[in-house]
Amino acid sequence: MKQMVITVLALLTFVTPTRADSYIDSNGTIIFPDGSVITSVIYIASTAANGYEGFTSIDFQFAGGHGFAANEEQLGGGEFGGISFTEPVSNLSVGWADSYGLYMNFTNAGNEVESVLEPLAACCSGVVNVPGSGYFGISWDTDQAGFSVAGPGGITSLDFTVPEPGTSLLLLVGLLSTLAAIKLRVSLARM
């Protein structure tokens, strides 16, 4: 029993929990939606040979879409990124966080539906609810916030509703069955 307790305590001591919504390397921190899966990482170290122009970029996927986020903190450019939904969604709620201000732009099928500028004084986090339904896109940039400082910031969470494929199929089957029943009733009435 003592050995099991010691093993559990050792695991708790040496296994640190990781946040699923940030990627950290020597170039800085990249914030991306919680629950997303990173599919690729591009890392360019900041060195004298490249003029200290290091950056990191990640691609990620989530149920219903994909996106990217890049970090240019070493260049004073902060973080920027984009998200595209691959299927129509509704009830979109977007959580965000920033250090020094954040500009976000929301589109639906390529048309702008909302933009948000969080100034330096409003820093830290919030939620934006986007009305309607459709194929949304989101872009963000901490540098375009118009301040002389920039840092990490981005989309921390996405909550939305995706119509289930089975729902549309059931609706179609029900409609076809109703039409068939009406046609049968009409043809029986003619007899």
Query: For the chain, which residues make up each domain, given as ranges?
Result: 2-62+64-161, 163-191
Q: How far is CA 19 from CA 82, 110, 173, in A?
A: 20, 32, 44
Torsion angle in degrees (nearest 10) through CA of 110, 143, 120, 154: 60
pLDDT along the chain (191 residues), means of 10: 40 33 88 93 91 90 94 80 94 88 90 85 80 92 67 88 69 78 76 69
Cβ within 8 Å of residue 21, ≥6 positions away: 31, 32, 33, 34, 36, 156, 157
pLDDT number for residue 145: 52
Structural contact between residues 65 and 84, judged by C-beta atoms closer than 8 angstroms? yes
Distance of alpha carbon 35 from its chain centroid, rounded? Answer: 9
Task: Determine the length of the chain.
Answer: 191
Question: According to the model, what pLDDT value does residue 10 have?
Answer: 36
Select from 33, 73, 80 the least CA-distant residue to 53: 73
Does the domain spanning 2-62+64-161 belong to CATH 2.60.120?
A: yes
Q: What tokens does 67 get?
A: 């996106």
Residue 108's pLDDT is: 94
| DSSP bridge partners of 154 | 97
Enter the tokens of residue 33. Answer: 């939606």
6-24 confidence digits (pLDDT tens): 333 333 333 323 334 889 9
